[in-house]
Amino acid sequence: MTAYPIDPKLDLMLERTVDVPVDLVWRAWTEPKHLMPWFTPAPWKTVDCEIDLRPGGIFRTVMRSPEGQDMNNIGCYLEVIEKRKLVFTDALLPGFRPRDGGFFTGIVMMEPAAGGTTYTACAIHKDEAGRKAHEEMGFHSGWGTALDQLVAYAKAKM
């Protein structure tokens, strides 16, 4: 379902079919009360979240390390297609205001599949160094763990 050509030098991708319906995956990504329990791979926690689900609207999370250090992540949505696609970036602040230090643009796509959802997450970077740094930070294991947490949360709590 990738909507653009993947550049392996610049992009990281995770694709899986999960046994949770699209509606629940969408709600888990778009409602703060449902995003916070799964979004950050344990033992980290998401302790705050703000979502204004429209192009230019805020997407902000605060992640807390096991040592208690908070990391505020702020950006905005670029594209919102209900129950299909979210595109967000930390390169822009809400209202599309440019920001120094942006790291990546995220694309999350969900498509109905037999018994659940085909889930595709892409992280696109401006250069190879950014891609490599994100991969070395644990993109595949971190985003994969977060997806596992989303599935477990959706099955138990939604």
* pLDDT value at 15 more than 90: yes
| pTM of structure | 0.94
CATH number at residue 124: 3.30.530.20
Does any domain span residue 34? yes
Residue 6 lies in a domain: no
Evaluate whether residue 5 is within a structural domain. no
What pLDDT digit, counting tens, does each position of 31-88 carry?
999 999 999 999 999 999 999 999 999 999 999 999 999 999 999 999 999 999 999 9
Would residue 2 count as lying in a domain?
no
- CA–CA separation, 106 and 21 (whole Å): 21
Per-residue pLDDT tens digits for 141-157: 999 999 999 999 999 99
Tell me which H or E stretch contains 154. helix 139-157
In a domain? residue 52: yes
Query: H/E element holding 36?
Result: none
**Total number of domains constituting the chain:** 1
Domain carrying residue 47: 11-157
Q: Is residue 1 part of a domain?
A: no
